[in-house]
Amino acid sequence: MNFVQRKPRKVGGFNMTPMIDVVFQLIIFFLYTSQFTTLVRTPLDLPEERGDPMSAERPATVVLDIAPDGTLLIEREPVDLARFASVVRAEINQAGGDASKVTVLVRADRSLDAAHANRVASTLSALGIRGWRLATEAPAGGGP
């Protein structure tokens, strides 16, 4: 006869609480930071065009908004054409002087006078930026 009582073995466990805390913190972080891109953009009535889905893969280095009255805005701050050129020039210098590494996205209101957009295009051309993009909205019907 065995009179010695055996203690029940503790089964090893894994505490999920810290991992759940970390996951919730990550969710809150990404929800919070995803809002920054929409906060920086000026509400504009962009032209409706299907656009190129491949261009979304390469993020823009500089985003320029042009209001209907021709006001240039970078991160909702009004700038003149000379200040815009200096921002682009600084990005080119940061890219090692290679203008092809700088991507400029122009968000122009659809009611904008073309003369304002032409001035921006001329400035970009003078700085050596050949491939800038014009932002559009997808048509409501999703067709061509």
Question: Which residue ranges make up each domain of the chain?
Answer: 44-134
Residue whose tokens read 């999920």: 16
Most confident of the ranges 3-17, 39-53, 55-69, 95-109? 95-109
Mean per-residue pLDDT, 38-63: 69
Name the band, by pLDDT with cuts 50, 70 and 90, for residue 100. Answer: confident
Which tokens hold the place of 36?
A: 């920054």
Q: What is the predicted pLDDT for the residue at 119?
A: 92
Contacts of 91 (CB under 8 A, 6+ apart): 61, 62, 102
The helix/strand/coil state of 61 is: coil
Which of 3, 8, 116, 126 has the alpha carbon at shortest distance from 65?
116
Helix axes 81-94, 114-126, angle to 10 degrees: 40
β-pairing, 77-79 vs 72-74, is antiparallel
CATH top class, domain 44-134: alpha beta
56 and 81 Cβ atoms separated by less than 8 Å: no
SS3 annotation, 25-46: HHHHHHHHHHCHHHHHCCCCCC
CA distance 72 to 120: 9
Please tell me the least confidently modeled range out of 32-36, 85-89, 134-138: 32-36
Q: Could you tell me the two tokens for 93?
A: 């210098």
pTM for the structure as a whole: 0.65
What pLDDT is recorded for position 130? Answer: 83
In the 8-state DSSP scheme, what is residue 102?
A: -
